Chains A and B, each alone.
Chain A
Amino acid sequence: MNFSVLKLIYLFPLVLLAQVFVFSNFNLFGFIDPQIYLLYFIVLPLKINQIILLLIAFTMGISIDLFLDLPATNAISSITVIFLRPLIILVLLGKSRDKIISEGKGAILAQDLKYIALITGLHQLVYFILDLIILGDYLSFMRNFVFSWLISVFLIWTLLGFKKVSLNE
């Protein structure tokens, strides 16, 4: 078994438990909790089959929903962000995408602030649009989306900076 696959397997429960028991209890300004588990989607290798990726995202999202008693909001936003991940990679890397993936240099993306911001932003957008559908409150939608996004990006970027997780070697 590959070393990076092992890393991927032990990181899953670690990220899940950290999200559920630490970061979801932040409760900044009422309802803003940083979504730190997106870090897992960011460090996932670019080479992995999209079908496995979707299943991983679904498992992660639905586990968090079950732990936090949420109506599947994390699962919906997680599979959406993973489904659109190839598009984000295409936008960021452009034509050199295939070359970078085949050379196994995809790890540089995990340190890229633009990549972190796009993945987190897309996830938070879907997450708070679901909120908006139920509440219909545009003001709190904008406020929650912007604050939650910024705090999540900042925390994920700091965590990835401290420990350089590279699964693409």
Chain B
Amino acid sequence: MERLLSFLFRFKNFLLYLFLLIPCLVYFFLTSPEASSKLNEFTLNVIAPVHQSVNSITLYFKLRKINDSLIVENQQLNQFKFNQLYKQKMATINFIDKNLSPYDLKAANIIFASRSSDKNYFIVDKGSDDGIKPEMGVIHNRGVLGITRDVKSNYTRVISLLHRDLGLSVRVQPSGTIGILKWSHKTPTTMVISDIQKSSHIMINDIVETSGISTYYPDKIEIGKVSLIDSLSDPVYHRILVELFENPLSKKVAYLVSNNKISNIESLLKPLE
């Protein structure tokens, strides 16, 4: 007993080091999302308000930039509205359903964006009080941001597009080839598509847009363009690097997309009983 105690006393520093290191390593290598949800809850409840108060100060210095981007966005929306009105007018003539609008957008401020090289998250200042649910698509004015995950009453944690577990179904135009877009883990604007067959014709500067196959995002949001085609690394598939139009980490405003038809689609996807 005495020996044991003296042993513990001699190596007390090392034992404390191990005692602190092991839970950290467990958390580091943890991949199951359920197990880390307690810590995520803490982040949303305690850390998010601090980020928001700091964000409200730093936002003042970015007002001009935000204003400029809003003017551009407004112009595009106006253009879209007039086109839509024209289409509706044509639809009444041609008897097409004119109330066809499955997507609802909710604007939210991004109060925090993490910058790790593996798993990234956003925190936005809208929550279940504003009708946000888990697994909603999140977009910005020129691209895609991610999917909502943990929802609290006032804050929501969004899995970023810059996360190793998130893949986005995209179409490369004008050839119309469909592939899965993933993050390259290098810079925040470089993405990779690695499952496009060599028989498809893809050129540099082709536009990459959402395919509309998933229920999270609307069809045809232009994300970026092809910057490099690597045909040598794989015998069957091209490895395509895509440069995003805008850095998702620099965005301040996000739109959360809710799909009104999602229950219809999910009931179709369910196996017959």
Footprint of B on A, CB under 8 Å? 21, 24, 27, 30-31, 33, 50-51, 54-55, 58, 62, 66-73, 75-76, 79-80, 83, 130-131, 134-135, 137, 140, 144
Contact = CB atoms under 8 A, between A and B. Distances in A.
A33 B39 CA distance: 24
12 contacts: A50-B13, A54-B13, A62-B24, A66-B42, A66-B47, A67-B47, A69-B116, A70-B114, A71-B28, A71-B116, A72-B28, A75-B24
Contacts of A76: 21, 24-25, 28
Given A31-B115, A75-B24, A137-B185, A83 B17 contact: yes
Nearest to A135: B185
Contacts of B54: 21
A51 B117 contact: no
Interface in B109-133: 112, 114-121, 123
A73 B20 contact: no
Given A27-B249, A30-B187, A73 B28 contact: yes
A137 B51 CA distance: 32
A51 B120 CA distance: 33
Interface of B: 12-14, 16-17, 20-21, 24-25, 27-28, 30, 39, 42-43, 47, 50-51, 54, 112, 114-121, 123, 164, 185-188, 249
Shortest beta-carbon contacts, A-B, top 9: A69-B114, A30-B187, A72-B24, A72-B27, A83-B17, A50-B13, A76-B24, A71-B28, A58-B20
A75 B39 CA distance: 15
B63 to A, nearest CB: 17
Nearest to B23: A72
Contacts, number: 84
A107 to B, nearest CB: 23
Contacts of A68: 114-116
A83 B117 contact: no
Contacts of B25: 72, 76
A51 B13 CA distance: 6
Contacts of B21: 76, 79-80
A31 B187 contact: yes
B115 A24 contact: yes
B153 to A, nearest CB: 20
A82 B194 CA distance: 42
B187 A71 contact: no
A144 B118 CA distance: 14
Contact of A83 (B13, B51, B249): B13
A134 B115 contact: no
Contacts of B164: 134
Given A31-B117, A71-B118, A137-B185, A130 B28 contact: yes
A44 B25 CA distance: 25
Nearest to B39: A66
B27 A71 contact: yes
A51 B12 CA distance: 8
Given A72-B28, A76-B21, A30 B186 contact: yes
Contacts of A51: 12-13, 16
